[in-house]
Structures are given as structure tokens and as C-alpha cells.
Structure 1
Amino acid sequence: MKFSYVNPTVIHFGQGQIAQISSSIPTSSKVLVIYGGGSIKSNGVYDQVVEALQNHTWLEFSGVEANPTKETLDKAIELVKSEGVDYLLAVGGGSVIDGTKYIAAASLHDGDSWDLITGQYKPETAVPIGVILTLPATGSESNMGAVVTKKSTHEKLGFMTPLVRPQFAVLDPDAMKTLPERQLINGLVDAWVHVCEQYITTQTGNMVQEGYAEVLLRNLLELGAKFEQRDDAWRENLMWTANQALNGLIGTGMPQDWATHMIGHELTALWNVDHARSLAIIQPSLLRSQMAFKRGKIEQMGRNVFQLEDSDDLAERTINAIEAFYTSLNVDAQLSEVNGDKSDAVDAVLAKLEQNGYVKLGENQAITLDVSREILTNAL
């Protein structure tokens, strides 16, 4: 192991912690509150924000989509520039937070905001961000990554910079109480695959990262099994587990995959498949395809996460157990958005992968376009 690790995001965890934003954001700041479809106005979160910001100057921007688009975020960027906003408060799930990160970096750029994604613009500073998390899933509330969709070209791409890591994040499990079941299930699956992307690679002997990843996976299995009995403790544990799944710790000093995400993003960009469900479609097929590289770690997962007995087919049974986990949550593992013969869909995804330069994916760069075709054909 050899690494440098820091995560400076301050976490305010627990019931009633939204009040912390009053002291977490300087009163001298002009704040833009960014949120999605308006559910925060029916679950009490918005009222708590208003109360906490009573001594601040602030305005709001709503309408950030479940997969935030450049086209919508550009409107917020114009608002930041025209109103002299110097602090952003994201109130929502990973999509709102990712969109806010894009706004934070691109607002200080005079050119096209998409330059941030293509790398033509390399930010040296960004508008500071705070977060109130309402949907646990992505871990975006305390990491430095974001994914944004360009609707006009059906591209879903990401960027990373420590400049957009939130300064603080409020994690109040009460904000989850009115979430639809589908969103909660998506959060479980998303967090699960985040851990897997950093864990199912090669056996490293890194006891902390591998052991902690296995704890998080066992947490998610148990939370899935108790989905119908969810209570305050259930919500607390999902919110904290999802955060820990992608705050940088378990991936530190570890080989990482992320091919499931790269391929899954194309399903979302092309057919608006829920992000988490795009991952559930791709992952089992990808693991079977990469068995030559991943067998040892998949077997380790079978023993330490699913408590399966050793056997010659342990890896295969472990992947079956992953699929059974998705099935238990009623997650569709097929691309139901496309009917009939899906060969055209496979071609469309491959064209996007090639266009975006994703011609060698995975921790071993072994997933070429031909391998991606095999994965997609078997998955879809």
C-alpha cells in the first residue's frame, strides 16, 4: 500500500442537524439553494432550510433532474454569475449534488460549461458547496466526483476535482421518510455496486480496505432483507453505509474497476434507465466475463459476505447470489426500456463507448469494445 488520503468534508449526522447550516455557511455569503423536483417542500426539509438561513442572503434554483443535464445546469450557472452568488447549498440526492458540483466549477469559467467535462477547462478554484442529503446512494456528499448528462448528444460523463468536494454535509435520516420505495431501493443498489467496483478486483491483502468493504456489503445485504421493516435505525444505517461506500476510504491504495458504471451510464444516457438499475443490468454479466481476473476476489466475497461454503463453483454461486439480491429488491435486471431484439441497443451503446474513449475498461484494461459487446449481449 502507498497512498495519501484526506477527506475534509465535515459531516453533521443525525436528526435535527439541518439547523447546522446556519453556522456552517458564512452570513456574509450570498447563497444559492439548489434542489430537484420540489419534494423538499412537502417533507419539511425546505422549511428547515428557510429557518436555518434566516440571517443569510439567499435565492433558489429548482428543477435539477434525476440525471442532471448540462442544459438545466447552465441556467443555474447564469444565475450564479448574474446574481453574484458565492456559496452553493445542494439539497437533495446524488443528482442534485453532482449538478451543484458542476455549477460550482463551471460558474467561474467564461466558456462553454461542457469544457469542464472534456478537459478543455481545468478549474483552479470553484464556488464553495454545502450539502443537505435527502437520498443516500452516491456518496457524492463527501467526495470529489460528479456525473452530468448532455441531453442534446446523449452523453453521460463525469469529472473529478478536490475543488468541488463539499465543505460540509448534513445527513439527517428523517429526510428519507417520505422517499418512494423505488428511490430507496436504488440507493441500496447504487451503494452496493460502488463498494463492488472498489472491492471485486484482485486480492490485495489490504486488511482495512477489504475488511471494511465486506462490512459495508454485509450491511447492505441486511438492510435489503429488512427493507419492509425499515425504521429510524434502518434509515440511519443506510445513510451512513452509502456515505462510507464512496467517500474515498475503501478505494484508497486499491485497484478499482468502474467498468460497470461506464457501460451503465450509456444505458442511462440513451434510454433514461435509472442509474442503479443500469448497474444491476450490467454487473453480473461483466463479472462472469472477467472471471479469469476476478475469481479469487469473488470467492472471497462469497465466503465473507454471503457466508457460502467453499466449492469449485464458489465464484459462480457468488454471482448468482448477487443477482438474487437484486431480485429480492424487485430490481429489473433486463433492459425493459428496449423491446424485442436488442442488437441495435448493443450497437448504440458500443458506439457511445467508442465515442467517449472507453475502449479499454476495468482494473486490467481488459474490457475492450469486443468484450463490452459480449458483456452487453449477455446482459441485455
Structure 2
Amino acid sequence: MSLVYDYSNPTAIHFGKGQIASIVKHLNKDNKILVVYGGGSIKKNGVYDEVSSVLDGFNWIEFSGIEANPSYETLNKAVALSKAEKIDYILAVGGGSVIDGAKYIAAASLYDGDAWDFLDGSVTVEKALPLGAILTLPATGSESNGNSVVSKKETNEKRFFASPLVYPVFAVLDPSVMSTLSDRQLANGLVDAFVHTCEQYLTCPNTSLLHDGYAETILRGLLSLAQTWDNRKDAIWEENLMLLANQALNGFIGSGVTQDWATHMIGHELTGFYGVDHAQSLAVVQPQLLRVMMEDKKEKLALMGENVFGIKDDNEAVIIAIEKMYESVGVTTNLNDYENVDDKVIETIIPSLKAHGMTAIGENQNITLEVSEKILKMAMK
């Protein structure tokens, strides 16, 4: 099929060591800035001190404690602070969760109702405060897209909203801040970026040599990083992960092409109920989804096999190669390997998918609740 799309990415990227200083190009002394971050790792790796130094003379306050899966409950405390202090700029310092949370804060700060309305789809974002991002953990691409995922602890829900109004105005990608990341964080980032790319690539054949070629370049790059996992503390390795994860979900490779996202929809439920890391949930769901939906995906799986893994005419071997790649960086593809996962996965997840309207998902809208159940049963090896 021929492509038809509109594409715009307004986020200014400042990539490389020392680029945190560039944030002053986008801020002025009249701004009232709310700096948001997570559990405090930025105070251990020097990023907090660097940001504080750069913001010397600016009017700013801070809010910390945004979780790895940002919660509605915590974010609403930041929204209350933002409204009380008449904040007019949000600066997120952290990984995708902090940046996702900042997007919620930016939109909710200018909304009079319950901002969960954005997540349940009953209301679309009409205005938002400007925000910037300083990325510390590459994975989600949230630093230059308009997507946000938020969890509600009370109901074990993990939902998302998207709006062009919450694209960060700027994003700083300084790979040198990755030096203190754990193996688990690096592996999660690699897997997350790989699945993001697949959700936009492993669907229907298309006519764009650029889109497929670009996606395959990202996939090969991530595979190369997995194959050189022993070098993960090298600056060049980390630089490449930060760049690849950003390009995996900045909107371009998905523009005009059919997208899937069923792996994410099922994975969100696993995270919401069992606390499985986002990337871990993707790693257990994706291979089994590919097996179940093999007929729909056979042409792109074959293309991926040949152009990414060097495998010809054996789609099951391609899926096995994906599983081995995840496991090589320490991310198991067996749902039963994760603590907190019980024997009630099916009776927990399937009704929740139904309640959230996820009854016909995937690029062809043919992943029904029955198909999702089959995928989950296969994921429990």
C-alpha cells in the first residue's frame, strides 16, 4: 500500500555529553519551573547537582518520588503543587516514567476535572503547560513523543493517553549520565526499544523502503548491543542505546504504516496487576503473540529474519532468536519466572482487558479475548 501520513516532531534534541547546560536556551528567568524526578538516583549520579547549577538564578521548585510506573495518586500531588505555586513550565529529569508523569502533570495542571479523564479516554487534552526533559534512562522514547502511560494503584489499572500538546519542547540526551544504571535498567531499555520498533514494523507489508529500512537499522543496532552486552558500561555502547531507543518511538517509523501495540496492551495489564517491569511484560508476551499470529505476520517476520537476524525461510527460528536475544541480557521470556505472578493470570487479566475495551486488538483487530488468553497461557511456560 502507498503511504499517506502527517508527521511532525517539535521536540528539539540536545544530544551528547555536557548538553544539560543547553536547557537555558528554552527557559527564562520569568518562568516558574517545577522540576520533577523519581526516587533520588539523580542525586547519586551528579545529575541533580548539574541541573541545580544550570538553573542557578532561575525560579524553580522540585517534586520527587515519581515511581517506575508513575501513579495517578503520586502525580496528583505534583499537580496540586503545580496549581498552588502557579507553575508555568515542567522540567522532567529521569527516565520514561518520570517524563510520562510530567506530561500528565503538564496537562492536569490546566484541567479543572479529574485528570484520569485523559487516561480513560473520556476527555482529550485541550491545553498543557510546556515541558522539557532531561533523559537519564533510555527506553521509551517519551522524551520526544506525545505519549504518556499512568497507573492507578487503587484499581491496578495502567492506561495511556496521547496528545501533540505534551510533546516536550526540548530533550537533553546526555549518555554520560547512564554510567550508574543497573544491568536490569539497561536490559529493560534495550528490550523496550526493540519491541517498540516491532510494534510498528512487524505488521503488514508496505511500499516504503525508508520506513522498513529505518526500522531494520534500529533492530540491527539493538541486536548488536545485545551481542556486545559485555561492553554495556562503555560510553559508545551507552550512547548507541540512548540514540536507538529515542528513534524507536519518536513517531517517524510508524508514520503512515499499520501498527500493532497488542503486546503493549496485554503487557500493561501484567504490570498493573503483578508489578512486572514494563519491558519484562513485553518480553513474555511478544514471542507468543508472534507465534499465535504467525499467519498475519509471516511476510514481515520473514523480512525481519533475513534483514536483521540473517535467517531465511524459518519464522519460528526468528521468534526463537528474539527470545534468545532477550534472555542473553537477562530478561526471561517465561512469565512464571517473575515473582508475584500467580496461577490466576487468566482469570485476572482477561476480564481486565475486556473492561478496558481491549477485545479486538492488533493491526487487524483480530486479537480477541480468546486469542489473548491463548497468548498468556503460552507465556506461562
TM-score under structure 1 normalisation? 0.97
Describe the SS at the equivalent of 2:371. Answer: helix
Q: How far apart in 2 are the matches of 1:330 and 1:179?
A: 15
Q: How far apart in 1 are the matches of 2:342 and 2:99?
A: 36
After superposition, what is the alpha-carbon deviation per residue over 1:152-184, rounded to whole angstroms, capped at 9, x for unaligned? Answer: 000000000000000000000011000111101
Match of 1:245 in 2: 248
Cα gap change, 1:341/1:18 in structure 2, threshold over 3 Å: closer, same or farther? closer
Structure 2: gaps of 5 or more residues: none
Corresponding position: 1:282 with 2:279: no
Which residue identity is paired with 1:272? G
How far has the Cα of 1:340 moved from its partner? Answer: 8.7
How far has the Cα of 1:334 moved from its partner? Answer: 1.9
Q: How far apart in 2 are the matches of 1:358 and 1:338?
A: 25
Which residue identity is paired with 2:325? F
How far has the Cα of 1:332 moved from its partner? Answer: 1.6
Corresponding position: 1:170 with 2:178: no
* Among candidates 260, 266, 269, match of residue 266 of structure 1: 269
Corresponding position: 1:87 with 2:98: no
- Kept in 1, the 8 Å contact 2:274–2:340? The answer is no
Which residue identity is paired with 2:57? N
Q: How far apart in 1 are the matches of 2:376 and 2:355?
A: 17
Describe the SS at the equivalent of 2:137. Answer: coil
Q: How far apart in 1 are the matches of 2:5 and 2:341?
A: 48
* Among candidates 207, 214, 217, match of residue 215 of structure 1: 217
> What's the % identity of the aligned pairs?
56
Describe the SS at the equivalent of 1:60. Answer: strand
Q: How far apart in 1 are the matches of 2:290 and 2:25?
A: 46
Describe the SS at the equivalent of 1:360. Answer: coil
After superposition, what is the alpha-carbon deviation per residue over 1:299-358, rounded to whole angstroms, capped at 9, x for unaligned? Answer: 1100000011x33xx11110111011111112121223467973x211101011001000
Match of 2:207 in 1: 205
How far has the Cα of 1:55 moved from its partner? Answer: 2.1
Q: How far apart in 1 are the matches of 2:36 and 2:340?
A: 36
Corresponding position: 1:146 with 2:144: no
Which residue identity is paired with 1:373? E
Cα gap change, 1:349/1:338 in structure 2, threshold over 3 Å: closer, same or farther? farther
Match of 1:98 in 2: 100
Which residue identity is paired with 2:176? D
Describe the SS at the equivalent of 2:180. Answer: coil
How far has the Cα of 1:206 moved from its partner? Answer: 1.2
Describe the SS at the equivalent of 1:123. Answer: coil
* Among candidates 5, 11, 17, match of residue 13 of structure 2: 11
Match of 1:315 in 2: 315
Match of 1:187 in 2: 189
After superposition, what is the alpha-carbon deviation per residue over 1:96-130, rounded to whole angstroms, capped at 9, x for unaligned? Answer: 00000011111111111211212333222101000
Q: List aligned pairs for 1:127-138, cutoff 5 A.
A: 127-138=129-140
Which residue identity is paired with 2:50? Q
Match of 2:303 in 1: 300
How far has the Cα of 1:266 moved from its partner? Answer: 0.4
Which residue identity is paired with 1:286? L
Q: How far apart in 2 are the matches of 1:303 and 1:171?
A: 32
Describe the SS at the equivalent of 1:285. Answer: helix
- Kept in 2, the 8 Å contact 1:11–1:168? The answer is yes
- Kept in 2, the 8 Å contact 1:109–1:121? The answer is no
Describe the SS at the equivalent of 1:66. Answer: coil
Match of 1:20 in 2: 22
Q: How far apart in 1 are the matches of 2:371 and 2:231?
A: 41
After superposition, what is the alpha-carbon deviation per residue over 1:196-240, rounded to whole angstroms, capped at 9, x for unaligned? Answer: 000000111211110000000000011111121131111111101
Q: How far apart in 1 are the matches of 2:41 and 2:34?
A: 18
Match of 1:111 in 2: 113
Match of 2:258 in 1: 255
Which residue identity is paired with 1:140? S
Moved more, 94-103 or 110-119: 110-119
- Kept in 2, the 8 Å contact 1:338–1:345? The answer is no
Match of 2:363 in 1: 363
- Kept in 1, the 8 Å contact 2:197–2:249? The answer is yes
Q: How far apart in 1 are the matches of 2:123 and 2:368?
A: 28
Q: How far apart in 1 are the matches of 2:240 and 2:193?
A: 12
Match of 2:75 in 1: 73
Match of 2:127 in 1: 125
Q: How far apart in 2 are the matches of 1:199 and 1:293?
A: 13
Q: How far apart in 1 are the matches of 2:196 and 2:219?
A: 10
How far has the Cα of 1:26 moved from its partner? Answer: 2.2
Q: List aligned pairs for 1:338-377, cutoff 5 A.
A: 342=343, 344-377=344-377
Match of 1:326 in 2: 326
- Kept in 2, the 8 Å contact 1:33–1:91? The answer is yes
- Kept in 2, the 8 Å contact 1:136–1:242? The answer is yes
Describe the SS at the equivalent of 2:149. Answer: strand
- Kept in 2, the 8 Å contact 1:142–1:247? The answer is yes
Q: How far apart in 1 are the matches of 2:341 and 2:128?
A: 46
Describe the SS at the equivalent of 1:305. Answer: helix
- Kept in 1, the 8 Å contact 2:274–2:341? The answer is no
Q: How far apart in 2 are the matches of 1:58 and 1:298?
A: 49
Cα gap change, 1:239/1:138 in structure 2, threshold over 3 Å: closer, same or farther? same
Number of aligned residue pairs: 376
Q: How far apart in 1 are the matches of 2:331 and 2:339?
A: 16
